[in-house]
Amino acid sequence: MGGVHPPDNKEATRGSATTRATMPDFLIVPMSQHLGAPCVPVVEKGDRVERGEVVGNVEAMVSAPIHSPVSGEVIAVGPTMVAGGQTVTAVTIAPDPEQDFDAFIKIPEGDLRDMVRAAGIVGLGGAAFPTTVKLSPPKDSPVHTVILNGCECEPFLTCDHRLMLERPDRVVAGARFMRDIIGAKRVVVGIEDNKPDAVAALNREAGSDVEILSLPTHYPQGAEKQLIYAVLGKEVAHGKLPASTGALVQNVGTAAAVADAIEFRRPLIERTMTVTGAVVRPRNMTVLLGTPISHLIAEAGGLTSDSGRIISGGPMTGMALADIDLPVTKGTSGIVALRVKETAPAVYGDQPCIRCGRCTDACPMGLRPFSLGIHANRSDWAACESLHVLDCIECGCCSFVCPTRRPLVQLFRRAKQTLLTRGSRS
């Protein structure tokens, strides 16, 4: 089913225990840290906020509330840019010099699904889809299997690996909570076989009701549709949701956040992430949401002399940063500073396609990326739609193998955004 085998480049941090990043001078907390409707600030400049207090909310179903990661004072409410290039509203908070990181305003007790929403939990693997929505599948698509993604197939990133080693009890507990919320019968944790220590750690924690499955190391093994196929042998049909296969896929970090929300009534105000590549001290860190990325790079000892492009996320699916003062959000799984020798020169416009077919062989969705790229570059959106560009998972396999370095993923993103925008207007 396609896919590639890029160098994993995880050696620098896979053995690095997770440590807490220091507190920055201020935190920029965007009101849009998830797919769906952005939140509206419920605080104003000059307000006092406590750690865990709701600072942004909205009634829309596809959304998730935003909480203050610290106790302190709101010093600004206004526009900011996030890693994807969008400008959104943000609440900027100056934290108190002393913080008790074990203290926070607890979310209300109640129905388990409601608690997940109140905690503001979204998918922590990078997609940032509100978890409550995934825990509410269509009634005609009952879910029988909860699948946790512990593959972490993205090169360089190791925060999920460390989470499975350091907090396997939280991962397993969260999986069980999600199973109970959704009424599933089976729980499977899929982990690539290049992480045998994580497989062993979860096996020690799991009982007879949680299966730990070692999967071949293969990118993008952790993509939702690919993971469903690897575990259940079922393909998600064109135009259908993953729930149509009877599966619910969540990241292991999301599972741990669900466990913390239900057992400790803890909102999502921080996350683990990897800062690696061309930095002096690559490491895994627990980071307050809203922390400027420049603060984390400094925390990792700063950039090395051979640093080049800086990526939010991993090199296959992440976004290159134009500004390192942008804030960490719920979907920020890592910061990767690529070295100059690892960074291809920027490519603009359509590059010549030599019809080698490598992109078609590599595409895990069975698409024809070379044709899609030609039509997307011509703004032929109807042709892109007929070639199923909306099924593209933006994994980057096509760009990785393209010998002429065509900017395929960027072209497909533009085509998808155009088609989705047109659809929302019709």
Q: Identify the CATH number of the domain in which residue 316 sits.
A: 3.10.20.600
337 and 395 fall within a common domain: no
Round to whole Å and give the CA distance between 52 and 65: 11
333 and 197 fall within a common domain: no
168-182 and 196-205 helices cross at what angle (nearest 10)? 60
In tens, the pLDDT along 116-162 reads: 999 999 999 878 899 999 999 888 889 999 999 999 999 999 999 99
The residue type of 230 is A
Looking at 264, 298, 321, which one is the last position of a domain? 264
301 and 232 fall within a common domain: no
218 and 256 fall within a common domain: yes
Evaluated on CA atoms 179, 180, 182, 186, the torsion sign reads positive
Residue 103 located in a structural domain: no
Sheet of 211-215, strand order: 211-215, 186-192, 145-149, 247-251
405 and 302 fall within a common domain: no
163 and 233 fall within a common domain: yes
207 and 249 fall within a common domain: yes
- Cα-atom radius of gyration of the chain, to the nearest Å? 21
Residue 257 located in a structural domain: yes
Residue 17 located in a structural domain: no
> Measuring CA to CA, which residue among 127, 203, 192 is closest to residue 165?
203
Looking at 308, 341, 374, which one is the last position of a domain? 341
Q: Indicate the number of domains in the chain.
A: 3
38 and 75 fall within a common domain: yes
168-182 and 159-166 helices cross at what angle (nearest 10)? 90
In tens, the pLDDT along 18-36 reads: 999 999 999 999 999 998 8
Residue 11 located in a structural domain: no
> Measuring CA to CA, which residue among 169, 62, 183 is closest to residue 122?
62
> Measuring CA to CA, which residue among 395, 389, 407, 394 is closest to residue 351?
407
Q: Report the 10 Å Cβ neighbour count for 50.
A: 14
Round to whole Å and give the CA distance between 363 and 411: 15
Round to whole Å and give the CA distance between 277 and 316: 14
Residue 10 located in a structural domain: no
Inform me whether the pLDDT recorded for 346 exceeds 70.
Answer: no
pLDDT value at position 349? 52
Between 69 and 424, name the one with better pLDDT: 69
116 and 250 fall within a common domain: yes
Q: Contact 260/155 with Cβ under 8 angstroms? A: no
- What would the mean pLDDT of 298-313 be, rounded to a whole number? 94
The residue type of 156 is F
What is the CATH number for 214? 3.40.50.11540
Round to whole Å and give the CA distance between 106 and 97: 22
Q: How confident is the model at residue 240 (pLDDT cuts 50, 70, 90)?
A: confident
The residue type of 370 is F
Q: Contact 183/143 with Cβ under 8 angstroms? A: yes
Sheet of 66-67, strand order: 40-41, 54-57, 66-67
156 and 214 fall within a common domain: yes
382 and 305 fall within a common domain: no
Residue 74 located in a structural domain: yes
User: In which domain, by residue range, is 391 found?
Assistant: 358-425
Q: How confident is the model at residue 426 (pLDDT cuts 50, 70, 90)?
A: very low
Residue 38 located in a structural domain: yes
159-166 and 196-205 helices cross at what angle (nearest 10)? 40
Model pTM greater than 0.85? yes
Q: Contact 257/121 with Cβ under 8 angstroms? A: yes
Looking at 306, 341, 376, which one is the last position of a domain? 341
Round to whole Å and give the CA distance between 39 and 85: 18
Share above pLDDT 90 across residues of the chain, in percent, rounded to a whole number: 84
In tens, the pLDDT along 356-400 reads: 999 999 999 999 999 999 999 999 999 999 999 999 999 999 999
Mean pLDDT of the chain: 93
Q: How confident is the model at residue 348 (pLDDT cuts 50, 70, 90)?
A: low
Residue 162 located in a structural domain: yes
Tokens linked to 3: 């896919």
128 and 217 fall within a common domain: yes
DSSP state of 14: T
